[in-house]
Amino acid sequence: MGAYFASLNPHALWNAAPGGLAQGLIWGIMALGVYLTFRVLNFADMTCDGSFALGGATAVMLILAGWSPEAVLLMSFVTGVAAGLITGILHTVLGIPDILAGILTQISLYSINLNIMGKANQAVPVNQVKVPFTSNIQYLGQTIALTLIVDIVIIGIFYWFLGTELGSAIRSTGINENMSRAQGISTRRMKVIALAVSNGLIALSGGILTEYQGFADVKMGQGAIVIGLAAVIIGEVLAEALVGKRLNFILRLGFTVFGAIVYYFVYVFVLWLKFPADDMKLLTAIVVAIFLAVPYLKQMRTNSFRSLARRTAKDFAGVKTAAPVENGLKEKAVGGKEEKSC
Amino acid sequence: MLNVEHVYKTFNPGTINEKRALIDVNLQLEDGDFCTVIGGNGAGKSTIMNAIAGVWPVDSGRITIDGNDVSGLSEYKRAPFLGRVFQAPMMGTAGDMQIDENLALAARRGQKRGLRWGVTAKERDEYREILRKLDLGLEDRLTAKVGLLSGGQRQALTLIMATMKKPRILLLDEHTAALDPKTAAKVLAATDRIVNENKLTTLMVTHNMRDAIAHGNRLIMMSDGDIIFDVRGEEKQRLQVTDLLEKFEAAGGEVSDRMALS
């Protein structure tokens, strides 16, 4: 045990922090996409695992084809939009339930991504091409600043877009479909638009991560939905705790990105504790479960039958509490009869 | 204004749950008619409302509004012609959006929704004035989430949303049934005022026979998927609850407690 703690190097953790921040900011873009479907549209979209890797595959292959590393990110966004359109059409035109529609697109994207890349992973020729989102330690500060700007711009666009007529219609579709149709909104169209934009952002995030890590892998999107949800939920829990009632929409979006950063810091920290990388998915699940459970348990502490029983036992000390009635069934039956006779 | 011709609708056809909900229904509403609809459970009152609103396509027959055949139009495409208030207060509004945002959604019924602002400052002033007339104190709470309002306030708001953009037909589907008597009376009074001010052609389903007699210029009774009684004008004004109960029993309908007690 002592040897284990001695082997942990605080310096290494400090050195790993900027990388965690950069990755958190990149995944934050993805989390914003998840927020749009999961929270605004109320649609559990499973496409994202596939569209994230699709964005990466698009980026790496176009860079290899000689495109500029900036233009390829635009194409990552475009291919993501296409993936979202497919899920939208599967759901609205072909009537496939939301989760299943997303899973179908996701699984088909696995094959499509393999076809795009020709093999399971492809490296970005970082020595020949200067990518804007590099993880090169020399330029890491620039990468972090640039990613932060991208996050802020996207949050700004989100804020504006969801305040427009179209954005309002998307929000109302997520809240009350019947009412939306009664007000002349094509709820199908709204779902397709939101899915397209969401997956566009997710693929953009995948493209940026590919430039950052220097390669794309067909499995890079595996569990992306969970990380996105983790960011959204961690962000919500922290926002609730830190700003409470003053929480507005901009802050909500900001905290979603912050949630992704927190997630990545936890990730980096656990890696630093020398957890095997294979256990990271398990760790992700545990982190999400904790953040989901904490608000619930906190609420249950004051608002549950058990807590009420505790309080009444204290307040009415000496008064006999009801014991579970024996032969409850029999008594009930008698009671029923009496009711009928009167 | 509204013309329903030979409309049929059967739910779950060919199964053990088959329900012939509308059987050759014919109904004409003149411009400015305020028609109340009564009938027992399963008589087809809500079904005829949903048929007009286009919640699903009817099996056969034709529905025209102001000369436009809408039978083949889906729900959202028909919406520009219609204002609707539902039985459940939650149904007609978006609870997680603000009062002004809900009103703005309704103000754009039948318009293309683009990238202009969802609510403008000028609109907010208009909404404040409209809400002031309701006298429910909502004019000072424009940015409150609708989910925080009471059932009566939500129904009143839905009524405003249904009528602020003058609809060809106003469909009220038991819109006071879920409210306490005092609130129901308030919402009904607001309904009367708005319908009269805008001379709206209105179809109002109600379980309450007294309300059905007291409001509007026309009354129809439904039973087993068809209209069995249709009175208007002076004849309607002389109508008593007992007359309706007799009619109802003559048609073989069972008088539910809810109808008899109201």
**Which two structure tokens, joined as six digits, stand for B4?**
């329903």
Q: Contact at 8 Å (CB) between A184 and B109?
A: yes
- Are A175 and B91 a contacting pair at CB < 8 A? no
Burial tier of A158 (Cβ tally within 10 Å: 0-12, 13-18, 19+) = buried
A124 domain residue, yes or no: yes
Residues of A in contact with B148 (CB under 8 A): none
Q: Where in the sequence is the domain holding A329, given as residue range(s)? A: 304-342
Rounded-to-integer distance, Cα B244 and Cα A216, Å: 75
A145 with A268, same domain? yes
Residue B207 pLDDT > 50:
yes
Q: Quick one: closest CA in B to A173, which residue? A: B94
A52 with A98, same domain? yes
Q: Contact at 8 Å (CB) between B18 and B42?
A: no
Q: Which of the two residues, A333 and A79, has the higher pLDDT score?
A: A79
**Reduced to 3 DSSP states, what percent helix, strand and coil does chain A have, rounded to the nearest 5?**
80, 0, 20
The mean pLDDT value of chain B amounts to 92
Please choose, from the candidates A201, A155, A146, A125, the residue with its C-alpha nearest in 3D space to the C-alpha of residue A22.
A146
Residue A11 pLDDT > 90:
no
Per residue in A42-55, pLDDT (tens digit) is 999 999 999 999 99
Does A183 contact chain B (CB < 8 Å)?
yes
Residues of B in contact with A186 (CB under 8 A): 76
Does A97 contact chain B (CB < 8 Å)?
no
Q: Contact at 8 Å (CB) between B153 and B136?
A: yes
What residues contact A266, with CB distance under 8 A and at least 6 apart?
A283, A287
pLDDT band at A332 (very low <50, low <70, confident <90, very high): very low
A92 domain residue, yes or no: yes
Q: Which of the two residues, B254 and B220, has the higher pLDDT score?
A: B220
Does A189 contact chain B (CB < 8 Å)?
no
- Are B113 and A165 a contacting pair at CB < 8 A? yes
Q: B169-173 and B82-85 as β-strands: parallel, antiparallel, unpaired?
A: parallel
Q: Which of the two residues, B21 and A294, has the higher pLDDT score?
A: B21
A328 with A263, same domain? no
Q: From the CA of A311, how many Å to the nearest CA of chain B?
A: 29
pLDDT band at A336 (very low <50, low <70, confident <90, very high): very low
* Cβ pairs bridging A and B (under 8 Å): 84
CA distances from B46 to A39, B67, B175, B207 (A): 32, 23, 11, 11
Residue B242 pLDDT > 90:
no
Of the residues A159, A165, A175, A247, the best mutation for testing chain B's interface (the one with the most B CB atoms within 10 Å of its CB) is A165
Residues of A in contact with B96 (CB under 8 A): 171, 175
**Which two structure tokens, joined as six digits, stand for B234?**
């002076």
Give me the pLDDT at residue B260, please: 54
Rounded-to-integer distance, Cα A298 and Cα A291, Å: 11
Give me the pLDDT at residue A325, please: 60
Per residue in B181-204, pLDDT (tens digit) is 999 999 999 999 999 999 999 999
Mean pLDDT confidence for B147-162: 95
Give me the pLDDT at residue A333, please: 43
Q: How many CB atoms lie within 10 A of CB A61?
A: 18
Give me the pLDDT at residue A107, please: 96
A261 with A315, same domain? no
A204 with A324, same domain? no
Residues of A in contact with B53 (CB under 8 A): 182
Does B84 contact chain A (CB < 8 Å)?
yes
Q: Which residues pair with B9 in a beta bridge?
A: B22
Please choose, from the candidates A3, A31, A20, the residue with its C-alpha nearest in 3D space to the C-alpha of residue A269.
A20
Coil, strand or helix: which one is A216? Answer: strand
A328 with A297, same domain? no
Does B121 contact chain A (CB < 8 Å)?
no
Does A163 contact chain B (CB < 8 Å)?
yes
Of the residues B75, B112, B164, the best mutation for testing chain A's interface (the one with the most A CB atoms within 10 Å of its CB) is B75
Query: What is the b/e burial string over A132-153, where b = at least 16 CB atoms within 10 angstroms of the residue's CB?
Result: bbbbeeeebeebbebbeebbee
A254 with A315, same domain? no
Q: Give me the half-sphere count of Cα atoms (radius 13 Å) on the Cβ side of residue B23.
A: 11
Per residue in B55-98, pLDDT (tens digit) is 999 999 999 999 999 999 999 999 999 999 999 999 999 999 99
A321 with A197, same domain? no
pLDDT band at A295 (very low <50, low <70, confident <90, very high): confident
Mean pLDDT confidence for A158-170: 96
pLDDT band at B47 (very low <50, low <70, confident <90, very high): very high
Residue A1 pLDDT > 90:
no
Does A75 contact chain B (CB < 8 Å)?
no
Q: From the CA of B92, how many Å to the nearest CA of chain A?
A: 5
Residue B24 pLDDT > 70:
yes
Pick from A163, A182, A183: CB nearest B118: A163
- Are A169 and B113 a contacting pair at CB < 8 A? yes
A82 domain residue, yes or no: yes
Does A165 contact chain B (CB < 8 Å)?
yes
Q: Sign of dihedral through CA atoms B92, B220, B226, B69?
A: negative
Please choose, from the candidates B162, B131, B126, B129, the residue with its C-alpha nearest in 3D space to the C-alpha of residue B144.
B131
Q: Which of the two residues, A323 and B162, has the higher pLDDT score?
A: B162
- Are A165 and B117 a contacting pair at CB < 8 A? yes
**Among the ranges A9-18, A275-284, B176-185, which has the highest mean pLDDT value?**
B176-185
CA angle A270, A274, A280 (to 5 degrees): 50
Residues of A in contact with B106 (CB under 8 A): 183
Residue A337 pLDDT > 50:
no
A104 with A92, same domain? yes
Residues of B in contact with A168 (CB under 8 A): 97, 101, 104-105, 113, 118-119
Residue A224 pLDDT > 50:
yes
- Are A183 and B116 a contacting pair at CB < 8 A? no
Q: Which DSSP category does A189 fall into?
A: H
A336 with A324, same domain? yes
- Are A165 and B95 a contacting pair at CB < 8 A? no
Beta strands in chain A (DSSP E): 121-123, 215-217
Give me the pLDDT at residue B256, please: 61
Q: Quickly list DSSP for A33-69.
A: HHHIIIIIS----TTHHHHHHHHHHHHHHHHHTT--H
Rounded-to-integer distance, Cα B188 and Cα B169, Å: 17
The mean pLDDT value of chain A amounts to 90
Phi, psi of A142 (to 5 degrees): -65, -45
Does B80 contact chain A (CB < 8 Å)?
yes
**Which two structure tokens, joined as six digits, stand for B110?**
């039948």
Q: Quick one: closest CA in B to A184, which residue? A: B76
Rounded-to-integer distance, Cα B235 and Cα B219, Å: 10
Residue A160 pLDDT > 80:
yes
As a whole-number percent, the residues of chain A with pLDDT over 70 amount to 93
Q: Which DSSP category does A164 fall into?
A: B
Q: Quick one: closest CA in B to A181, which residue? A: B76
As a whole-number percent, the residues of chain B with pLDDT over 70 amount to 96
pLDDT band at A277 (very low <50, low <70, confident <90, very high): confident
Q: From the CA of B88, how many Å to the nearest CA of chain A?
A: 11
Q: From the CA of A317, how many Å to the nearest CA of chain B?
A: 38
Place of tokens 């699984």: A107
A157 domain residue, yes or no: yes
A312 domain residue, yes or no: yes
Give me the pLDDT at residue A339, please: 41
Residue type present at position A50: G
Does B127 contact chain A (CB < 8 Å)?
no
**Which two structure tokens, joined as six digits, stand for A2?**
């002592």
Q: From the CA of B34, how many Å to the nearest CA of chain A?
A: 21
- Are B95 and A175 a contacting pair at CB < 8 A? yes
pLDDT band at A102 (very low <50, low <70, confident <90, very high): very high
Q: From the CA of A337, how many Å to the nearest CA of chain B?
A: 22
- Are B115 and A166 a contacting pair at CB < 8 A? yes
| B224 alpha-carbon distance from chain centroid | 20
* Range with the poorest average pLDDT among A261-265, A310-314, A322-326, B217-221: A322-326
Please choose, from the candidates B103, B99, B208, B114, the residue with its C-alpha nearest in 3D space to the C-alpha of residue B162.
B103
A169 with A286, same domain? yes
Q: Quickly list DSSP for chain B.
A: -EEEEEEEEEESTTSTT-EEEEEEEEEEE-TT-EEEEEE-TTSSHHHHHHHHHTSS--SEEEEEETTEE-TTS-HHHHGGGEEEE-SSTTTTS-TTSBHHHHHHHHHTTTS---SSBSS-HHHHHHHHHHHHHHTSSGGG-TTSBGGGS-HHHHHHHHHHHHHSS--SEEEEESTTTTS-HHHHHHHHHHHHHHHHHHT-EEEEE-S-HHHHHHSSSEEEEEETTEEEEEEEHHHHHT--HHHHHHHHHHTT----HHHHH-
Does A93 contact chain B (CB < 8 Å)?
no
| A295 alpha-carbon distance from chain centroid | 18
A284 domain residue, yes or no: yes
Q: Quick one: closest CA in B to A174, which residue? A: B94
**Which two structure tokens, joined as six digits, stand for A117?**
């890349």
Overall domain count for chain A: 2
Residue type present at position B218: R
A312 with A216, same domain? no
Q: Which of the two residues, A120 and A326, has the higher pLDDT score?
A: A120
Mean pLDDT confidence for A280-284: 83
Mean pLDDT confidence for A165-180: 97
Query: What is the b/e burial string over A287-312, where b = at least 16 CB atoms within 10 angstroms of the residue's CB?
Result: bbeebbeeeeeeeeeeeeeeeeeeee
Rounded-to-integer distance, Cα B53 and Cα B170, Å: 10
Q: Quickly list DSSP for A91-122.
A: HHTS---HHHHHHHHHHHHHHHHHHHHSSSEE
Record the pTM.
0.89
Of the residues A179, A188, A191, the best mutation for testing chain B's interface (the one with the most B CB atoms within 10 Å of its CB) is A179
Q: Contact at 8 Å (CB) between B193 and B102?
A: no
pLDDT band at B261 (very low <50, low <70, confident <90, very high): low
